[in-house]
Structure 1
């Protein structure tokens, strides 16, 4: 499987155009932004999918809401075209692309790509490990949530799940937790890469074992470095 590498290559080729779409934004019904950059990246993936993986269905944040029936033994490409759109449209560099591929219900490849940080992690690639005492937190936490955090730790809130999960996989964060629940496209790449690299991965308090998660609900997650 080399779908993710092809997508990363194609996005790199069109990266200047992606950047140029930062200020072309629309407010969605949930109060979050979608930019034309999100749509461009989604189109890049969709066009390659039709050629390379024609029997896979695309599940993408920018195609929600979904009305399809889901099959745990089905073949899907789960995509977050720009994770951290708020960062992206604000001119921050912490945003990324997340892809997870399932064929007949089995995970075959995942990718986290952080274009402006020039970081890529694809299933099968080696990874450099670090040791850290920093805990990553979801940007969805309220002021009251923050005031209740235990003392004795360093905390970081970045606002990009791909960045946060990759940091936990590398050990740059001792852990990353999202307690407010997020969609499958926000977390599947990080969960599967965590499994590959021996990082504890939990969904709704249960050990994650590689199963596909569908956009029928949202999930609380924890990555904990071993």
Structure 2
């Protein structure tokens, strides 16, 4: 499996079909956790899965059809997909939503893609990143008011409702840091964490240094990404 070629194909397919994705933002239903899933989520997922059909022996972990990967299983390619991150933004007509893909071979990271298609912001493994110098700290929108009060200890804060957009911002230096002290799912964060490592940021998961390992999809992880 050529990871770079796969990620380029995914980006191209989403860009080509963006108008169709956006047209589906109003078609939504509630999941068991009371979050939305839209037909746009499922359409983006289908675009990615169609590309993966060309590959053999690939384990797929995706938010909209959760499959667990065990270390007891045969090693090989694992592709972790969040077809639309920030669905609440997406279905509300906001442009700050994203796509996240992280690829692993034998549980070692080999490539990732983050994209905010409606903003035409993309970042993948191997890209050169223009850096800004910011003092803004990004926070997760999943935090309660009490958790926000405990987390805020700095100059400026932003809560944007999309982990992918936040990750791109911290990697580019538009944020000094981005964190979720409450916890997020693996498909929300694996691509961003590994692209942050690639760009020499400090990355912690559950209060320990993160070094690029695969994170199982059966729990949530607290994390913090910060510039040195």
TM-score band (shorter)? over 0.9
For the Cα contact (< 8 Å) 1:56–1:103, is it kept in 2? Answer: no
Give the alignment partner of residue 15 of structure 1, picking from 6, 18, 30.
Answer: 18
Superimposed CA distance per residue, residues 172-195 of structure 1 (whole angstroms, 9 cap, x where no aligned partner): 100000011111000001001001
Give the alignment partner of residue 176 of structure 2, picking from 174, 177, 187.
Answer: 174
How much has 1:149 moved relative to structure 2? Answer: 4.3
Output the CA distance in 2 between the equivalents of 1:207 and 1:72. Answer: 27
Question: What secondary structure is seen at the aligned counterpart in 2 of 1:172?
Answer: coil
Residue number in structure 2 paired with 1:145: 147
Check if 1:123 corresponds to 2:144. no
Residue number in structure 2 paired with 1:37: 40
How much has 1:170 moved relative to structure 2? Answer: 0.9
Q: How many residues align?
A: 224
Indicate how the Cα distance of structure 1 residues 67 and 204 shifts in structure 2: closer, same or farther if over 3 A, else same: closer
Question: What secondary structure is seen at the aligned counterpart in 2 of 1:63?
Answer: coil
Check if 1:3 corresponds to 2:15. no
Residue number in structure 2 paired with 1:204: 206
For the Cα contact (< 8 Å) 2:204–2:210, is it kept in 1? Answer: yes
Superimposed CA distance per residue, residues 147-172 of structure 1 (whole angstroms, 9 cap, x where no aligned partner): 33445410000010000111111111
For the Cα contact (< 8 Å) 1:204–1:220, is it kept in 2? Answer: yes
Residue number in structure 1 paired with 2:191: 189
Superimposed CA distance per residue, residues 24-79 of structure 1 (whole angstroms, 9 cap, x where no aligned partner): 0010000100000000111111110110x321111000002x36644494421000
Q: TM-score, normalised by structure 1?
A: 0.95
For the Cα contact (< 8 Å) 1:72–1:105, is it kept in 2? Answer: no
Q: TM-score, normalised by structure 2?
A: 0.94
For the Cα contact (< 8 Å) 1:25–1:34, is it kept in 2? Answer: yes
Residue number in structure 2 paired with 1:63: 65
